[in-house]
Amino acid sequence: AVYADTHEALTKVRSGFECDIAHPNVWDVRSWYDAGLLQPWDVSKLQYWPDIFPQLATSDGTIMEDGGQYMIPTDWGINSAIIREDVVEIEEESWNILWDERYAGKISMTSEMDLAVQVAGLTVGVTNPFHATEEEFQRIRDRLTEQRKLLLFYWSDPTELSQAIASGEIVAAVAWPAIYSELKAAGEPVRYINPKEGVYSWMTGFVRLKDAPGAEQNASDYVH
């Protein structure tokens, strides 16, 4: 089954959808664990487990307080903003380009709550929105509200965003690195900026459902 975001996936599984493994973000694992949906992996059954970077294998959210390995990291990278170099003029690379009124109606923000909050947080000086105070979170909320009038749309489908950038409908957007790579390979005049405020890294991987109907070895073979 394919889902639009991990919040949808969690709701689906909690409603009784049966599956053996799922592919959430590392910061989602706590919610799945607290909901009683997960069981730990037996990493001895994973052939390439020793090859995973230790910093990823032990990152917050992969191991729970019972000592179990609840996520097997498979994907890691960063997210940034993509711009059309032939249209957008910038003196320094910054997330604030997504609030630049010169490009009103040609900006797109992700519909992913986690990433949107992270980006807005950096523009108002909140470097760790995962532990924001009430005052800091209100600043983030206000910043996102301020942006609404500048957006053409919130994107959840990367193909939709790629097509909009290629056509020139969108000239600045939060984007996954794969979107940038695809457009660059197609010869589009795009740049993946290095914002002065910094970027967040992300990690996704596989979790094993507690009531997985399939054989454990099959799940391990798929992931290893």
**Residue 133 tokens, joined:** 């105070």
Classify residue 51 by burial, with Cβ atoms within 10 Å: 0-12, 13-18, 19+: exposed
Give the mean pLDDT of 6-32: 87
Q: Which H/E stretch holds residue 119?
A: helix 113-123
pLDDT higher than threshold 80 for residue 4? no
Give the mean pLDDT of 65-77: 94
DSSP 3-state of 185: helix
**Residue 124 tokens, joined:** 């108002």
What is the rounded CA–CA span in Å between residue 29 and residue 6?
Answer: 10
Whole-prediction pTM? 0.81
Q: In angstroms, how far is the first alpha carbon of the chain from the final one?
A: 20
**pLDDT confidence band for 92 (50 / 70 / 90):** very high
Helix, strand, coil % in the chain, rounded to nearest 5: 40, 20, 40
Classify residue 173 by burial, with Cβ atoms within 10 Å: 0-12, 13-18, 19+: buried
Q: What is the chain's mean pLDDT, rounded? A: 93
Instruction: Give the model confidence (pLDDT) of 23-53 as tens digits.
Output: 998 989 999 999 999 999 999 999 999 999 9
Instruction: Give the model confidence (pLDDT) of 149-195 as tens digits.
Output: 999 999 989 999 999 999 999 999 999 999 999 999 999 999 999 99
